[in-house]
Amino acid sequence: MTVDIGLLWDEETITGELLGGHAVQCRTDCCRYLNLAHTTGRFTARAATSPREGRFALRLGEMFSPPSAEQVLAPLSESRRNLDLDVLEAGKRWEFGGGAYDNRVWWPIVKCGSRADAESLAAELREQPHVDPLAITVVRLDDTEPSAQFEFTLGDFSARVLEVRAVPLARDTIFRLNDVPIGRGFHWQRKEALDYRGVLSLFSSAGGLTAVNRLPLETYLKSTVGSEMRSDLPAAFSQAQAICARSTVLATANRHHRADGFDLCNDDHCQCYQGIQREAGAVAEPVRATAGQILLFGERVVDARYAKACGGLSERYEAVWGGEGPAYFAVRPCGDFAASDLASEDGARLFLESAPPSWCNPALHPYPDPWDKEPLFRWQFRFAPEKLGTLIEEKTGSAGGRVKELRPLRRGASGRILVLDVVGSERTLRVYGELNIRRALSPSHLPSSFFVSDLRADEILLTGGGWGHGVGLCQLGACAMAKAGTSTETILARYYPESAVVTA
């Protein structure tokens, strides 16, 4: 089984190098392929035309059946007859290992035209009582396919083409891409030159140039497991991470990047995949030991989300992303202790001030390097009200003035704030969604939206817990369980209850 991983997209120029022998095919307008039978060297791809914006829509959730998607649209079809409503299919059906797995989802959408139109309508619909504000996402509609010429140069060869495909001629043949972003949108964002195995495909579409890596799923896993966590951690944890990563590919392919021309991207948005630099023997062995193993819930592959540290309690899928949430994402303590619903302010504060015996509590289970260098389980940030108001204006584009209060309107059962009112001296701004809240209140992003705030003199103090969205497996908690001798199956059963590990 092969997967298509997006490495770069919406670029004006892509540069790199073919290391070792490649068969290079360049498709032209008349669908002829210009073949370079055995070649190496540096290449440059440069868009010949300016990118155009394309068409956009508002996705109002992801549902497990067309009738469920139609049900989401029904109130709008009655109250807003001028809207262009539709249901789109996303995801994939897989057949392998003698089994068939249907992981399609259906999107209820509102077609909008431009991104600006979609964002304007999103602000309006979030205030409607029959629309889930957490499920609203701006998505691109245009299917990305080779549709525009670009300039491709490789050594002495230069031509205008629609698509380039570089196929390795030997098992150890690789290619290099320059300036590949790592951590897009986060404070650790940087660019590196990275090496990859497999086929390289370059093409140009409405948004610009795209680079896609096609490779066997098991080869991809050797890198992504090492990219997500260190390679020298306990085998039971690495095996659990490998099963989660394999399941995530099958469950989310053609969903997050439905119109972008690949299954998943190479970054935190989907799964970290940083090429052969992250391959290691300690990771390769757990991947081999779990070859073909996936998590199933009924007849669907589990969408095995995971985050760095849950802070003591996991969260439901629908609380973070809206839409129809799978039942295996439960609110469960990350340890053998009882935890009440933290949706209330008092409950959230009490839990944050406590030190529950969680598997991700570093006082009880020290973190491995480098995660022991920063507070992840419990943390604090301090802001001057004026500076916080300026920061929020920079991040959201809306001015509210000096921040007087951060007022949670809705928390998930794990305590994460899902809807937040920022009460300012000039106006009150409403922020929807845990990730948007994290981004609005930090130059990069807060570790999580699980926090309480206190106004002290001329200071706003945020006291919070956890790192990430908290849905699914807690990586540092699972690592601690593995160190204590817990089996891979038991680890997965804790974080994805009622699912089963099967070999496909």
Question: pLDDT tens-digit profile of 82-111?
Answer: 999 999 999 999 887 777 889 999 999 999
- CATH number of residue 117's parent domain: 3.30.70
Count Cβ atoms below 10 Å from residue 73 Cβ, excluding itself.
Answer: 17
Mean pLDDT of 130-148: 84
Choose one of 85, 110, 140: the last residue of a domain.
Answer: 140
Q: CA dist 348 to 110, 345, 354, 359, 448, Å?
A: 36, 5, 10, 19, 13
pLDDT for 456: 86
Which of 140, 156, 171 corresponds to the end of one domain? 140
**Where do we find the tokens 């944050």?**
352
Residue type at position 87: V
Bridging pattern class, strands 473-474 and 306-307: parallel
Mean pLDDT of 107-117: 93
Q: Look at residue 199 and tell me if it is in a domain.
A: yes
Note whether 235 and 282 are same-domain residues.
yes
Using DSSP's 3-state secondary structure scheme, residue 112 falls into strand
Output the pLDDT for position 54.
Answer: 76
**Residue 500, domain member (yes or no):** no
Q: Please state whether beta strands 13-27 and 163-168 pair in parallel, antiparallel, or not at all (unpaired).
A: antiparallel
Residues 390, 449, single domain; the answer is yes
**Containing structural domain, residue 181:** 2-50+145-291
Whether 504 maps to a domain, the answer reads no
Region 285-296 average pLDDT: 88
Same domain, 317 and 347: yes
Q: What is the pLDDT of residue 116?
A: 92
User: Taking CA 312 as the corner, what is the angle to CA 221 and CA 248, rounded to the nearest 5 degrees?
Assistant: 20
Question: CA-based diameter of the chain, in Å?
Answer: 72
Q: Helix/strand/coil (H, E, C) string of 179-193?
A: EEEECCCCCCCEEEE
Q: Which candidate, 315, 340, 335, 333, places its Cα nearest to that of 325?
A: 315
Q: Looking at the structure, do residues 74 and 181 belong to the same domain, yes or no? A: no
Task: Judge whether 494 lies within some domain.
Answer: no
DSSP state string for 54-98: --EEEE---BSSHHHHHHHHHHHHHH-TTSEEEEEEES-EEEETT
Q: Domain total for the chain?
A: 3
Q: Report the distance separating Cα 148 and Cα 100, nearest Å.
A: 36
Contact 491, 476 (CB under 8 A): no
Q: From the centroid of its chain, how far is CA 317?
A: 13
Q: Do 131 and 149 have their domain in common?
A: no
Contacts of residue 181, defined as CB under 8 A and 6 or more positions apart, other chains included, come to: 8, 189, 190, 191, 267
In terms of pLDDT, which residue wins out, 180 or 31? Answer: 180
What beta strand segments (E) does 245-329 contain? 264-265, 293-297, 300-301, 306-307
Query: Does residue 53 register a pLDDT over 80?
Result: no
pLDDT in tens, 334-369: 999 988 889 999 999 999 999 899 999 999 999 988
The answer to whether residues 446 and 313 belong to one domain is yes
Mark whether 321 and 409 lie in a shared domain: yes
Please check whether residue 211 lies inside any domain of the structure. yes
Decide if pLDDT at 322 tops 90.
Answer: yes
User: Do 199 and 273 belong to one domain?
Assistant: yes
Read off the DSSP letter of residue 429: E
In a domain, 436, yes or no: yes
- What angle do the packed helices 475-483 and 235-252 form, to 10 degrees? 150
Which residues lie across from 204 on neighbouring strands?
209
Do residues 317 and 419 both lie within one domain? yes
| Residue 231 pLDDT | 62
Q: Is the pLDDT of residue 450 over 90?
A: yes
Residue 502 lies in a domain: no
Query: Do 149 and 136 sit in the same domain of this protein?
Result: no
Check residue 260 and report its DSSP letter: T
Alpha helix segments (H runs only) across 126-274: 217-228, 235-252
Q: What percent of the chain has pLDDT over 70?
A: 95
Report how far apart the first and last C-alpha atoms of the chain are (Å, whole number).
Answer: 12
Specify the higher pLDDT residue, 311 or 371: 311
- 447 domain residue, yes or no: yes
Strands 2-11 and 208-216: antiparallel
What's residue 227's pLDDT?
A: 66
Name the domain boundary from 108, 140, 172: 140
**Banded pLDDT at 29 (limits 50, 70, 90):** low
Please give the full DSSP string across 30-46, using - where no structure is assigned: TS-EEEEEEEEEEEEEE
Q: What pLDDT does 144 receive? A: 64
Residues 34 and 157 in one domain: yes
| Secondary structure of 341-357 as H, E, C letters | CCCCHHHHHHHHHCCCC
Residues 360 and 413 both lie in one domain: yes
Question: Does residue 68 register a pLDDT over 90?
Answer: yes
